[in-house]
Amino acid sequence: MYGFSKGTGKVEVQLKWDPSPLGTPPSDLDLIAATYFAADPSGEPAYLVHFNSRSPDGTIIYERDSRDGKGFGVDELMTLELDRISDAYGRVLVGVAIQQHDGRRVFGEVLNPEFRILEGYTELAAGDFSDVAGATAATVAEFTRNASGTWDFHELVRGFDTDLNSFARTMGSAHR
């Protein structure tokens, strides 16, 4: 069977959680996007986008950052314009990491953490991190460039027990 596909184009990744109870340290979650060269899709990231930053070419933009979950609606927001990313890149992973300011904190200790991945008004994925409750970081989405040059989306919720810097370097490693 033959078909035509535009692939995945412009995607929005949303993250939200509820503020910590009064008298406890705030939960600070962050979105991270790692872009990999097509020639080495499981190697070191070519570049990272996090903390109100953007990719060198402007195709991935971190648009909203919360340090405590007190925002209305979405606390963190990242936009990926996959259809504009250079052919030199073949894989983009998006993950979420919990800042470890006041000791080790895992997803199971954060109040109602949720993510949504949208392409326009179409929801590609949504989740609540319950499958990775003991993790300090997790991937949530993988986008890979296929043989026709378009991008495919794969929901990829995989937990990690590591600090933010290590997670950014290893989130794209081959799953063992």
Helix (H) or strand (E) run with residue 151 in it:
strand 151-160
Question: Domain containing 110 — which CATH number?
Answer: 2.60.60.30
Kindly report, residue by residue over 2-32, the tens digit of the pLDDT. 444 577 889 999 999 899 888 888 889 999 9
Residue 124's CB is within 10 A of a number of other CB atoms, namely 18
Would residue 2 count as lying in a domain?
Answer: no
Would residue 3 count as lying in a domain?
Answer: no
Would residue 144 count as lying in a domain?
Answer: yes
Domain boundaries, position 111: 10-170
Kindly report, residue by residue over 85-141, the tens digit of the pLDDT. 999 999 999 999 998 887 899 999 999 999 999 999 999 999 999 999 999 999 999
Kindly report, residue by residue over 130-173, the tens digit of the pLDDT. 999 999 999 999 999 999 999 999 999 999 998 888 888 888 87
pLDDT for position 3: 43
CB 148 within 8 A of CB 125: no
Would residue 98 count as lying in a domain?
Answer: yes
CB 7 within 8 A of CB 124: no
Kindly report, residue by residue over 37-61, the tens digit of the pLDDT. 999 998 889 999 988 788 999 999 9
Would residue 1 count as lying in a domain?
Answer: no
Would residue 99 count as lying in a domain?
Answer: yes
Residue among 122, 129, 125, 119 nearest 29 (CA): 129
Question: In 29-170, which residue ranges form alpha helices assigned H by DSSP?
Answer: 164-170
Would residue 155 count as lying in a domain?
Answer: yes
pLDDT for position 173: 79
Residue among 143, 134, 142, 140 nearest 158 (CA): 140
Name the domain count of the chain. Answer: 1
pLDDT for position 97: 94
Would residue 176 count as lying in a domain?
Answer: no
Residue among 18, 35, 161 nearest 98 (CA): 161
